[in-house]
Structures are given as C-alpha cells and as structure tokens.
Structure 1
Amino acid sequence: MSLRQRRLSKAEGRLNLNLLSQTQNRLKDHNMSSARRHWLDAMLKIKTLEDPWEKFHLEELKVESAIRYRYNALKKKWSEDLVQVKMEDVSFNHGAMRQCFRLKKLSNFTHSDDWKHAQNYVAKRYFEDVSRDVYFEDVKLQMDTKLWGEEYNRHNPPKKVDIFQMYILEFHKRAEKPIYHLEHFIEGDYTKYNSNSGYVDEHLRLTPQAFSHFTFERSGHQLIVVDIQGVGDLYTDPQIHTADGIEYGDGNLGPKGMALFFHSHCCNSICHGLNLSPFDLYLSERRNLVNPTSIMAMSPLTQVRGNEEMVICASPLEQHDLTNLLARSKSSHSSSNSTDDESMSIGSPLNLLRSPRIRFTSESETSMTEEEEKLAFAEIIGKRHRPSCVIKEKDICHLNMNSEDSVLGQIHHEMAKYHEIGRFLLTPDCPIDWDSALFHEKHAAELGVLEALITMARLYLGLPRDVLTECPQEVDIDKGLTYMTLAAENGDRDSMLHLAKAFETGNCLGTCRSKCWTTSMFWYNQAIQSIENDNTGAYDSTMHSPLHQLLAAQAHMFLVGGFGIEKDPQRAGDLYTEAADAATESMNGRMACKYYTLAEEAWAECEDE
C-alpha cells in the first residue's frame, strides 16, 4: 500500500470514529434502547482494535476464488455466491475431529483489494473424509438453532443470545474441490455450558440452560437445543435432539438426550421469568441438583449415538443482578476458541472484554418479507407450546384424545431406564435409586407410553418384564390389572391375552373384578383382530398363543355357557372348525384333528336338542 493510501485510510478511520461517536451521543440523548447503545459501543471498539492476525501476514498469501453456500432457515433454501479469500495451508489449531485454518475474505460489497483490513474467518475441515452432506447438515443445524435463538430473544429474556453464522466454502478451482465450514473469527474465552448428553454447569451461566429449556417447550416437545458453547452468549456448534431422533447427525440422541438434559437441569430465575414449567423429578433427584459435592465431574464432550457419556447433575445457581443485562443482540458470529473438536481455544478471559460483538447479517434477513416470515414462524411455534410438567401434559393429551405419542412420556420412560442401568449413580458403589426409577415410569405410564404401561402392569402383578426387572415392588393385583387394561386398550396383544385368560379362569382378578366370560370373549376377539391387522391372518411360528388356540378357547365357552355367555353348541362347533382350519394352516395336524372332533361333538349336541 502506498503512503497516500495509508494516509487516506487513517483519515477515513478518524472520520468514521467521529461520526460514530456523534451518533452514539445523539442516541443516548434520545433514550435509545440499551441494545442499540451496546451496538454502537461495539462499533467504536471495532475501529480502535488492532487486527489480532496482523502478525501472520495473511495478506501476502495467494488469492483464491471459492463458492460460498449460505442457508436460509426460514425459507429452508440454499444460496451461493463467489468470494475471494486467502487461507493458510497449515492449520493453527485442531480438536478431536476438525482442524482450523486462518482465513481472510474480501467483502463482496466493496471493490477494494485492501487485504489487511479484510475480515478474519476460521475455516474448519474434518480430519477424516466425510460426505459433503455432513458439512451441509452441520450448517443447517446451526442456522436452525439461530432461528430458535431469535424466537427466544423475542420473549425479552434478561440476556439475549445469538448463534454464530456458519457457511460452506468450496474451493472449486482446486483439483479435489475441498469444502470447509466458514465462521467469523472472534476472540474470547470459549466455554461449554452443557453437552448433548446431560452435562450441565450452571455455576457459569443461567441463560444457556434456560435457552435449552425454552426450545423444548416452545417446539411442543419436538426438539431441544443443547451442546451450548461459545463466548458469553454467542453460541456455536450446538446440537439438536428431536422427538424422532432423525436429522441433525449422530449427535441427535432423541428422547434419550432430552432425558439426560432434564435430569441435570435445575430451573433458574430466567426459566421462571419465561414461565417455563419445571420438569418433574423425584425428591432425591431434586436434592442432588443442589448438592454438587456429591456429584462426579464428568466430561462435557459431545457424544454420538450409542456412546453417550455419564450424566452429572447441575451445580447450584450463581446469583446475578439481571436488571442490567437487557442488551438485545441478533448478531451472527463464529468462534475459533475450543478445547474439543467443535472449536479451538486461543483466547484469554480478558479477550472477551476487548472483543466487540460484531453484527453480521443473518441469512434469514435477506428477504424483503423477513418480518412477515418471522411473525408467521412465531405464530406457528406459539400454537405448539407445551409445558414440561406431567400434570399439564395430561390435560393436553386428554383434550387431544391422544397420549400414546407423548414425547414427555417417552422422556420419563428413558429416564427410568437410565436409573435402572445406574447412569445417574453419584458414585459407583451407590445402590440403584429405584424410587426415582419407579417415579418416572409411573409418569410415563400416565402419559400413555405403552412400554411403561406394560412395565407397571407386570411389576404390580409380579410378572417377568423387560424394564425395571429388579425393581422391588409389592404385588397389587388391582393396580396391575388397571395398567394391564390400559396397555391392552393401547394395542398390546400380550395384555389382551392376559386379561382374556384371567376373566376366563377367574384367577388373579384381585378384589375389584370377578370371572366374566363376556369380558374374556371381548379380549379374545381383540387379540384375534390384532393378529389379522399385524399378520393379515397368516401363521407366525414365533407367535405367542396362535390363532387356533384363541378360537378354541372361545368355542369352549360357547359350548359350556355361563358367566354371562349363553350356551350355543352351534356357534361352538363353528369356532372349533375355524380353529381346526387355522391349526392346519400352521401345520399342526394333531391339533387340527382334535378341533374337528370337538366341532362334530358340539354339533351333535345341537341334534340332541
């Protein structure tokens, strides 16, 4: 750069500083919002800060043309443009999965070739060869999270949040056409506030945990944003758990991940201020949330499906005066600071004080109908809002006449299973907290989770079960049959058969029920219908109580009569014949012969009459 150019650059800088200072004073005089004043303060700092990468002389590197892909979370569309960049060949830091490269990019809105003043970026690339789709899914996840951050800010929390902008950068002129994640560089102390598998540290901040809780309720339990990490309230590389466990990569642990978060989350003042309802925990679990000395410190690293880390409980909450934290921010950032594979740490705690919060235009802000789109999104999301507590969820399920798909119930069921395998033990030698496990399984059953209903039924009846196999519980036939009935009504065939046989024989009916062949006949018919629905009537060699046995049981009741069933030998003969045909189809010739004989005997009684 010539001497004249340097002088003009300095003069332009002084002019910009003067204009910004004057503008800031005018806005303060007019009692503008706190967020606006913070923004102007940040702009002043930008102009006064030196380039932290000046000593690396990136401006001396060769210029490369690259394709930049940007994702619009509102429109669910991708756009692309050409950019001019200079990037180092050797990474300056790395984590477990990705390596980082310093990069400068010229603005597409200027025609200057002043690389010394070009913006700083961090380009990240996976060590291992991964599909291009992985890079694009990562961007989609982060930009979807940014949209949820804007929805969170719309509810005026004490401290606004922002998600770093992320792009895809493809060097299309290189032979291998490599692609990178591209993020704005910002100095600061990188912190991980929670993980995707239950790690929560509420000693540090209240906002990240409240943000995660908010996304769960505001999405109607369809997702939760976790793995909150970044500089202050500028977050990067989040993870989303969804109700169906689909999309957003292997870090999406589904309801299991949601259970891990809520077991370690203690609602704080921001949660209360946003009217978020506390997740139901047992007394001992709530006690552990405020007793950090008994909790083992676990790794906060992101985990993938099948390899989740041990959960820890939340630590006591810090105390802050939140009245002065009303700075609204919608900026988009990226951090190069990390201690794991998500970002790379190079800053110090003091860097955050020096580094401004630079605002970069969000990809959801490029449309002329942006505000209408955001309002429409907020309206849709507002209709899906569901509390985190069971009592309110039960009311919603009752109104909708549909509880079997309750995500909240699935979360409680997963939490019960985690207790059973010792996932939440404070120390390895602690006994299983069966009271907490039973607490969550009961809640799951109340919300219509079929597996939980079956577990509670067999638990109270003293029968073998797949979940809570060692959980101690006194036998209570009445409660067990109540749960068994609910399971049968929700389509469990084994429960239908248990009820049919119990009402047929009169065994194990407790004090509230008595032998009733009419009820038995009903459940046998339901079980037969379930066979026809699931197997189109075909024989299955692995089937428990095959069709011919059920038909024969009904035939016997019509042949004998009683307990609400009128004797009908003709109907009995017909059912025995159907049973014989079913046995023949299942290649059980011996039983087929038996049923044909019984059919003839039943019809003989009709002739005698």
Structure 2
Amino acid sequence: MSTAARTNLTSNNVKVTNYKLGEGTFRECFEGIYIGGNRNNQAAACKRFKSQYTSMENEFFAQDFQIADKTIDFAESWNDVCPYGKEIMVSRGSLHTKGGRRYIVEPLIRDYDKFTSNTGWIGDTSNWQVRCMEAFTHYTYHKSGGQMIVCDIQGRYRHNRFSKAKSRFELGDPAICSRTRRYGPTDLGEKGIESFFSNHQCNEFCEDNWSRPRCPSQWFPQSRGTSMVSSLHSNQLSLHSRATFRMRGNMLMGVVEEDSDESDY
C-alpha cells in the first residue's frame, strides 16, 4: 500500500447517517461511521450524487479513483523531496451501495480548507499552507513533463505538536487538468493548466528549475468551487480553440470568440 494513500484500510462496511457535512452543485456528503476493520467507529465521509444528477455517476466515479491514484503517485514523489513536515497524504475511498444509492466512502477530514480550485483560483497566499499546495501543483506540472497538473486542492494541514515527522497535509477530492483531458468533467484541459499558471507566482516551496508554460492566459471565470465542463465542449479546452467560458452554476459553458461565426452554446 502506498505511503501517500489515506484509505479505508480493512474497514469495508459503513453506516451512513443523515447528518450532511456539505454539498456542491452535483454532490452531497454525509457523515458515516465505519463498522469493523482497522477504522471501526471512526468517522467517514460518504459522498453521493444528488438524485437529479445520478446519470453522471458511472463516468465520475470511475474518474474519481483514477484521479486519486495519479495524485497519490505525485504525492509519493513529492514526499521524497519536499521540506520536512510538508508531506502529503491523499484520501482514496471505496465504492459502497447503501439503501439503493452509491457512495464513495473515505476517511473524514475535519476542519477542511480550500487551497486552490481547477479554474485558476488560488487562496490567500499570505498563508504558507496555500503557497505550499500551489507549489505542489507546479511540481506536478514539472514532474509530468508539462502534461498535467493536480489542482482543486482541498483538505487540511494536520500539525502534530509532539512529532514534526507526523505533521502532514491530508487532501481529498483533487482534480487533474491534462492536455489529453483524460480525467473526467473536472479536467479543464490545457486551458485549466494555463489558468493556474496565469495566477501562480513561484514561492519558497518551488524550485528554480521547475518548468512552466510561457505566457499563460486565464480562460475561465475564477471560482473557489469545483467547476465542470460537459464532454460536448471538450474541443474548446484545447489551446487551438480561442473560446473562453462563462459560468452557469458550477458548469462552465463555452463562449465562442466574437470573430467566429458561431453563437454561444
């Protein structure tokens, strides 16, 4: 098992409560309690799609695990080179069906914070934790040879006052923006990569030799929330397209540039 993965361990059953921890446009999260295994009686985060969006489940759940696994790979590499006490663990849950509804269940992270989004938004950079996590995103670009970034980073820094070696970031629900757009509806493609770098200023956690795009642009309205793009607009996420975007809820809708003969859609 990966040292950067925060998993359900041997706990394979959970009780889902009615207590809602939070919700977004498409999904909602309920508190659960693990039954049996290494995490017996520990709190769990149980995420499901809202009833009107269950048609998105198959695509999104499959991509959710791919995103987590790729982020864990990057985190393992980061942990080998990062400053002491700045290591990362990434939650990777498992799929459960309860009461006819499907949930992704993973260890609960309390005192959640949002460090970056997938549209280029970056939190308050006077906070070293934000700077560290945006540096991690820069690192993933360099490590992947400019092919992708891990973004939409959220979670907490868990400080252990008794042992600095046990202090770490615990992250969940990241997104990946990739040039091939392999990572589902939250993958904003090449324009997602550029939008991050249009706002990112290298800091003390970045290395001088890390690569970055030349003259990146901001392609999306900056939003703290997680944004999605329908597969119908995938071609607009390439840098070969000059289309910019507007926001409708958390969905990004393509807007064709005015020198095109096409209308908004």
Give the TM-score taking structure 2 as reference length: 0.69
Residue 100 of structure 1 aligns to a residue in which SS? strand
C-alpha deviations, 1:275-295, integer Å up to 9, x for none? 32454349xx9xxxxxxxxxx
1:163 aligns with 90
2:72 aligns with 146
Is the counterpart of residue 275 in structure 1 residue 209 in structure 2? yes
Give yes or no for contact 1:136–1:168 (8 Å, CA) kept in 2: no
CA distance in 1, matches of 2:95, 2:245: 41
Q: Residue 91 and residue 193 in structure 1: after superposition, are their counterparts in 2 closer, same or farther (change >3 A)?
A: closer
Deviation at 1:203, TM superposition (A): 2.9
Correspondence list, 1:100-119, <5 A: 100-108=29-37, 118-119=41-42
Deviation at 1:85, TM superposition (A): 2.8
Give yes or no for contact 1:267–1:278 (8 Å, CA) kept in 2: no
Q: 1:240 aligns with which of 170, 173, 176?
A: 176
CA distance in 1, matches of 2:223, 2:82: 32
Q: Residue 153 and residue 257 in structure 1: after superposition, are their counterparts in 2 closer, same or farther (change >3 A)?
A: same
CA distance in 1, matches of 2:174, 2:38: 30
Correspondence list, 1:440-479, <5 A: none
1:217 aligns with 142
2:5 aligns with none
Correspondence list, 1:27-176, <5 A: 83-89=12-18, 91-108=20-37, 118-127=41-50, 128-129=53-54, 130-158=56-84, 159-171=86-98, 174=99, 176=100
Correspondence list, 1:295-374, <5 A: 298-305=222-229
How many pairs are equivalent? Answer: 217
C-alpha deviations, 1:331-354, integer Å up to 9, x for none? xxxxxxxxxxxxxxxxxxxxxxxx
Deviation at 1:271, TM superposition (A): 0.8
Residue 91 of structure 1 aligns to a residue in which SS? strand
Specify the structure having the higher radius of gyration (Cα).
1
Give yes or no for contact 1:87–1:101 (8 Å, CA) kept in 2: yes
CA distance in 2, matches of 1:281, 1:275: 17
C-alpha deviations, 1:442-495, integer Å up to 9, x for none? xxxxxxxxxxxxxxxxxxxxxxxxx997xxxxxxxxxxxxxxxxxxxxxxxxxx
Is the counterpart of residue 191 in structure 1 residue 127 in structure 2? no
Give yes or no for contact 2:45–2:108 (8 Å, CA) kept in 1: yes
Name the amino acid aligned to 1:260: S
Name the amino acid aligned to 1:161: I
C-alpha deviations, 1:532-590, integer Å up to 9, x for none? xxxxxxxxxxxxxxxxxxxxxxxxxxxxxxxxxxxxxxxxxxxxxxxxxxxxxxxxxxx
Give yes or no for contact 1:139–1:168 (8 Å, CA) kept in 2: no
Give yes or no for contact 1:215–1:225 (8 Å, CA) kept in 2: yes
Residue 45 of structure 2 aligns to a residue in which SS? strand
CA distance in 2, matches of 1:155, 1:81: 30
Give yes or no for contact 2:118–2:186 (8 Å, CA) kept in 1: yes
Q: Residue 161 and residue 306 in structure 1: after superposition, are their counterparts in 2 closer, same or farther (change >3 A)?
A: same
Give yes or no for contact 1:143–1:166 (8 Å, CA) kept in 2: no
Give yes or no for contact 2:141–2:211 (8 Å, CA) kept in 1: no
Q: Residue 222 and residue 109 in structure 1: after superposition, are their counterparts in 2 closer, same or farther (change >3 A)?
A: same
Higher strand share: 2
Deviation at 1:191, TM superposition (A): 2.1
Residue 131 of structure 1 aligns to a residue in which SS? helix
C-alpha deviations, 1:185-222, integer Å up to 9, x for none? 2322x222211111123233211111111111111122
Is the counterpart of residue 254 in structure 1 residue 189 in structure 2? yes
Name the amino acid aligned to 2:176: I
1:226 aligns with 151
Runs (5+) with no aligned partner, structure 2 = 3-8, 158-168, 232-237, 247-256, 260-265
Name the amino acid aligned to 1:165: R
Residue 214 of structure 1 aligns to a residue in which SS? helix
Name the amino acid aligned to 2:110: E
CA distance in 2, matches of 1:153, 1:237: 19
CA distance in 1, matches of 2:214, 2:68: 29
Q: Residue 150 and residue 90 in structure 1: after superposition, are their counterparts in 2 closer, same or farther (change >3 A)?
A: same
Q: Which has the higher contact order (CA 8 A, sep 6+)?
A: 2
Deviation at 1:241, TM superposition (A): 1.1
Q: Residue 81 and residue 207 in structure 1: after superposition, are their counterparts in 2 closer, same or farther (change >3 A)?
A: closer
CA distance in 1, matches of 2:11, 2:132: 37
Q: Residue 85 and residue 164 in structure 1: after superposition, are their counterparts in 2 closer, same or farther (change >3 A)?
A: closer
CA distance in 2, matches of 1:223, 1:278: 11
Q: Residue 211 and residue 81 in structure 1: after superposition, are their counterparts in 2 closer, same or farther (change >3 A)?
A: closer
Q: Residue 109 and residue 207 in structure 1: after superposition, are their counterparts in 2 closer, same or farther (change >3 A)?
A: closer
Deviation at 1:90, TM superposition (A): 5.5
1:200 aligns with 122
CA distance in 2, matches of 1:304, 1:263: 19
**Cα RMSD over matched residues?**
3.4
Name the amino acid aligned to 1:200: I
Q: Residue 187 and residue 221 in structure 1: after superposition, are their counterparts in 2 closer, same or farther (change >3 A)?
A: same
Residue 147 of structure 1 aligns to a residue in which SS? helix
Give yes or no for contact 2:11–2:35 (8 Å, CA) kept in 1: no
CA distance in 2, matches of 1:267, 1:131: 37
Identity of aligned residues (%): 26
Deviation at 1:82, TM superposition (A): 7.8
Deviation at 1:164, TM superposition (A): 2.0
Runs (5+) with no aligned partner, structure 1 = 1-71, 74-79, 111-116, 286-296, 308-409, 424-466, 470-609
Give yes or no for contact 1:91–1:101 (8 Å, CA) kept in 2: yes
Name the amino acid aligned to 2:33: K
